Amino acid sequence: MVLLRLNSTALARSRFALSPLAETLGTMITLGKRTPLPGLSDWHASHQETFTRVLDGDPFARGLVRLLGSTKWLPGYLTLPPDGGMRTTLDGELAKVSAASDDTVRAGLEKSVERSWQEHDLSWLRGGGWAARTAALLDAVWHGHVVAEWPRRRALLERDVTYRAGLLAAYGWPRALRRMSRRSAWVGADAIRFSDRPGPDRIVGEDGMLFVPVSVSSGSWLCEEPPARHALVYPVRGVAAMGRRPTRDALGRLVGGNRATILLALERPGTSSELAAQLGLSLGTVGGHLAVLREAGLIVGARIGRRVVYRRTAAGDALTAGHESVCEPPA
């Protein structure tokens, strides 16, 4: 069992962050799989032709994607904790990826091969400059498959952070970590279980732990940077919302299609701007529907700083019971 150990200072300084690199890496791994994640079949199919063209004629890119999609160990030069908090930029992260030496890249990929459930060789690892070539591949995936969706994805990620920050403020880190990944859990008073597989414990530095949500991914991974920086990347609930905007006919006929969509989306609390970005609706449209739902007693709003965070009431939960949400987790 691998534990991440935090002292009281590290615990107090732990926080959330965004990572365009982690989002791009998760997207690349997802597109490299033949079977799409539940709820992402249409999205996966719409991106496959462009993604395949990126890999065609580049044995390095094809070999790297295949390996990353079939291993339990992502190489360290690709999994560095973000530096910019909620404003981390891809350019800054790719600069750090590009700086890795060929020896570092090879050592990381060899470890990935050892932890893979498929047969691999590294015959495609030729010519040198592998870190820069990896960064160029990630940049191509970002511009081809992420950047156009980034406002919507970012809203989904920020909404998860809002939700977990609320849990943190009310109940502490153990509750905020609940269901963050299939394996992670709070252990005792000073440790997070990251994996149930054998491995050495990690000591988190006094700057604290970073928690980084990603959308188009079903897996979690640990980021490490010497001497003691750590980040836990985890999949948000709501992956299926990237592929479609579901409403249910009966609920839509009762309250209206957009109101049904918003009510279902509020399985997890969110602000009007987060809902607008996630659902592709104007802020004015969302605000009007929220006012109607609030007057009907189906939702309530609570002011947190400068934001108003909306959540469903018991009546709203009862009305949506049995309807599929736009925030269902992947199977």
Residue 319 has pLDDT above 60, yes or no: yes
188-214 pLDDT per residue, tens: 778 888 877 788 889 999 999 999 999
Buried b (16+ CB within 10 A) or exposed e, 100-130: beeeebeebbeebbeebeeebeeebbeeeeb
Kindly state the average pLDDT of the residues 66-83: 95
Q: Please tell me the number of Cα atoms within 13 Å of 274 on its side-chain side.
A: 22
The verdict on whether omega for the bond into residue 227 sits within 30 degrees of 0, i.e. cis, is yes
Residue 234, amino acid: Y
Q: Which tokens hold the place of 34?
A: 């033949």
Kindly state the average pLDDT of the residues 21-30: 96
Give the H/E segment covering residue 192.
strand 191-195
Confidence of residue 314 (pLDDT cuts 50, 70, 90): confident
Residue 238 has pLDDT above 70, yes or no: no
Taking 3-state DSSP, the helix, strand and coil percentages for the chain, each rounded to the nearest 5, stand at 50, 15, 35
Kindly state the average pLDDT of the residues 79-106: 96
Contact indicator for 21, 90 with CB cutoff of 8 Å: yes
Q: Which tokens hold the place of 271?
A: 């602000």
Percent of the chain at pLDDT above 70? Answer: 93
**Integer angstrom CA distances of residue 118 from 59, 60, 67, 69, 282:** 18, 17, 8, 10, 46
User: How much is the pLDDT for 325?
Assistant: 46
Residue 187 CA to residue 192 CA, distance in Å, equals: 6
Kindly state the average pLDDT of the residues 305-325: 77
Q: Which tokens hold the place of 150?
A: 């980034």
Place of tokens 């970012």: 154
**Integer angstrom CA distances of residue 76 from 108, 109, 111, 147:** 6, 9, 10, 24
Residue 244 has pLDDT above 60, yes or no: no
User: How much is the pLDDT for 326?
Assistant: 43
Residue 120 CA to residue 109 CA, distance in Å, equals: 10
Confidence of residue 249 (pLDDT cuts 50, 70, 90): low
Confidence of residue 306 (pLDDT cuts 50, 70, 90): confident
Residue 145 CA to residue 155 CA, distance in Å, equals: 17
5-16 pLDDT per residue, tens: 999 899 889 999
124-173 pLDDT per residue, tens: 999 999 999 999 999 999 999 999 999 889 988 988 888 888 888 888 88
- Top-confidence residue, 143 or 317: 143
Identity of the highest mean pLDDT range in 169-183, 202-216, 317-331: 202-216
Full set of structural domains in the chain with CATH: 20-147 (no CATH), 245-320 (1.10.10.10)
Q: Which tokens hold the place of 79?
A: 């999994």
**Integer angstrom CA distances of residue 285 from 72, 259, 297:** 44, 10, 19
Identity of the highest mean pLDDT range in 1-5, 122-126, 170-174, 281-285: 122-126
User: How much is the pLDDT for 330?
Assistant: 30
Q: Is the pTM here over 0.85, yes or no?
A: no
User: How much is the pLDDT for 307?
Assistant: 84
Percent of the chain at pLDDT above 90? Answer: 50
Kindly state the average pLDDT of the residues 102-128: 95
Kindly state the average pLDDT of the residues 242-254: 57
